[in-house]
Amino acid sequence: MSYDFNADDVFEMAEQIEKNGALFYRKAAAGVADPNAKQFLLDLAAMEDDHANTFAGMRKRLAESETASTVFDPDNEAAAYLKALADTRVFFEKEIDTGSMEAILKAAILAEKDSIVFYLGMKDLVPENLGQSHLDTIIKEEMSHIKRLSHRLVANR
């Protein structure tokens, strides 16, 4: 069975990935003693929360054609599938070595890169008429995370 994702599906996954990211950063912050590093991680968690809210808002503003179901799904199994997909692809139960800010930053950069790869792959699955262009907004948000994390990683060396 073929399944074309629409923009609503992708934003739903993006929201879940951002929530997972916020949880990752909060767990990392809980294990860090340095107040400056702890605040940096909590700021990243807040950014993830903001992005999840942004994506939720974008979902609300989608055109009807961008939210239309692409398959018959009376039991709403697609939603459960999308949540599982988002939960297992980015920030998925990563072990956090809180003994080293460098290790935390590297794990976070890897997860953010994974999210970009995930969304780039999703672009091929979302037809243009179902909101493919919205993926570029999500990808730019994830790229901004990598930039911030990379600057911090270089500054810590």
The answer to whether position 22 is within a domain reads: yes
pLDDT digits (tens, 9 = 90+) for 43-77: 999 988 988 888 788 778 776 655 655 555 556 56
The answer to whether position 19 is within a domain reads: yes
Mean of all residue pLDDT scores within the chain: 79
The answer to whether position 2 is within a domain reads: no
The answer to whether position 63 is within a domain reads: yes
The answer to whether position 147 is within a domain reads: yes
Structure tokens at 33: 């003693």
For residues 122 and 13, is the Cβ–Cβ distance under 8 A? yes
The answer to whether position 128 is within a domain reads: yes
What CATH number corresponds to the domain at position 32? Answer: 1.20.1260.10
The answer to whether position 1 is within a domain reads: no
Provide the number of structural domains found in the chain: 1
The answer to whether position 100 is within a domain reads: yes
Using DSSP's 3-state secondary structure scheme, residue 113 falls into: helix
pLDDT digits (tens, 9 = 90+) for 10-35: 778 888 888 988 999 999 999 999 99
**pTM (2 decimals)?**
0.76
Range of the domain at 89: 7-68+75-156
pLDDT of residue 91: 60
Range with the largest mean pLDDT of 63-72, 84-93, 125-134: 125-134
